[in-house]
Each structure stands twice: as structure tokens, then as C-alpha cells.
Amino acid sequence: MIKSYAKINLELKVISKRSDGYHNLYTKMCQITLYDNVRITSSDIDVLTCSGFDAPSGEDNIAYRALKLYKEKYNIMDCYEIHIEKNIPLGAGLGGGSSNAACVLRFLNDKYRFASRDELTELALYLGSDVPFFLYNICALLEGKGDVLTEIKFYEDKYILLVRPEGSISTKEVYTSLRKSDYINSKESNHLEVSAFRIDKSIADLKKEMYCECGNALMSGSGNVVFSFIDDYESAIKIKEKFDNYPWSYICRIRREDD
């Protein structure tokens, strides 16, 4: 099994809208100790299945597209069966799909060693702007549309409470709803929050509730999960119980190199 870690955005600033339709970003991301389990084995045909959260199978899954992309790029005839035990919720701003895709690319390149670091990063970027981050980094500063990465050192010796309201939210929908006034001169740590809150008020309500309990709260990525840092595990357990009315919550921490 390969551990496919989730991430949180410690900060997400929208700088400007690009001519290609993307946005220039400045965001600090860290992997956390919530992860999917990815099993990749030899097979007669290429197939991808999932258990746990209701993730798409086959060509609709970004991890399957990663497999096909690498095989087509380097004319690989071998076939693989991929099974993903999903623990990372979908449409939550935790990067689960991007992490799964990076796991597949890394597995294939560890086996065949056809791609240089830059070439593998290029393949990852083709799949999605978050995918390159998961190839090599535990914590990183991402700029541009997410394609300019600088590794950073960040360690917070605290626990993280993740809570998710009902439903999910589309990254595309959040960026489509984003207005220039949402980020120009904004003092918010995550410039996408205003847009996400317009789409789903329950995220804003959850953030207020978590801030009252923890003294800090931030939406991760384009949502809809909100997270808070908590000093110790016992306190995290007690606070988590207060959010049992929500459909999903989880206690984790920033991933370390030895995880």
C-alpha cells in the first residue's frame, strides 16, 4: 500500500486573473497525516476501483488518467490494477485526487525511471495544478497557477481538527464565482472563502463555530473543509465531540518526514 496524503492550505492569496483563465496564486500548502491507501498491482488490463468515499472509477478518476498519461508518454504496454481506499473526502479542499494522481506517477517512475524530475513535474502539472506539489513536497510555497514551487520548512507541534459540512463544493464553481473585490486588498488568509461562502453559507457558519471553540479557523483550498489548530490531543478529542452533528470530522497533524 502507498500512503496518499491530504493537504491543507495555511494561506491562499489570489494575486490576479491570468489571460489563460487561471489565477495567479500565492499559497502555502502542507501535507497532513490523513491519507488514502493506494494499491497498484500488475494486471491484464488497466482498471481503477475505489472504496470508502464515493470516488469515480475508471477514466473519470484523475489517478487513472495519470496511469494512462505516463504509459502513453513512454509507450508502456504493461497494465495495472489500481485500488484506492478513500479516507480523504471529495470536493473538500484537501487535494485527495491530486495526491492519488501523484502517487501513481511516482510509482510508475520509480519502476521505469523514464522521466526526469522536470519531466515528471510537467506530466503532473498537465493533470492539475496541485499534482506537482504531491510528488516531492511535504510543505511548499506555490506561486503562479500553482506551477512554481519552493520547498519550505514548517512544523506546528499542534493537532488539527478537520470538519466538513454537508455536501461538497466544486473548485471550478468557486473560481467562477470569484470576484476581483474578493481578493483585491483582502486581509483574509484564504481569498477563496468569500466566493465559497456565497455558494454555501454553511461553510461560513462552520468557520464561525470552529473559531469560537478553537480561537482559529480557516477553510482549506476551495473548500468545503474547515480546520483549526488545537494545542493537545485531549483537547482536540473534546472539541471534536462538539462537532458530531456534522457528517465528517478528523483529527490529524502536519506530516513529518518520518511518517
Q: What is the pLDDT of residues 48-58, one digit of tens each?
A: 999 998 788 88
Question: Residues 32, 6: contact at Cβ < 8 Å?
Answer: yes
The active-site residue, picked from 7, 13, 28, 86, is: 7
- Which residue ranges does the chain devote to CATH 3.30.70.890? 159-252
Q: Which residue among 13, 36, 130, 200 is the active-site one?
A: 130
Integer Cα distance of 49 and 102 in angstroms: 17
Residue 126 has a pLDDT of: 96
Coil vs helix vs strand at 123: helix
**How do residues 61-115 score in pLDDT, each as one tens digit?**
999 999 999 999 999 999 999 999 999 999 999 999 999 999 999 999 999 999 9
- What SS3 state is found at 152? coil
Q: Give catalytic status of residue 130 as yes or no.
A: yes
Architecture per CATH, domain 2-151, reads as: 2-Layer Sandwich (3.30)
Is the domain 159-252 a CATH 3.30.70.890 member? yes
Looking at residue 113, its pLDDT comes to: 98
Convert the pLDDT of each residue in 191-218 to its tens digit: 999 999 999 999 999 999 999 999 999 9
Prediction pTM value: 0.96
Q: Where in the chain is the domain with CATH 3.30.230.10?
A: 2-151
**Which pLDDT value is given to residue 170?**
92
Q: Dihedral, CA atoms, 118, 119, 121, 122, nearest 10 degrees?
A: 120
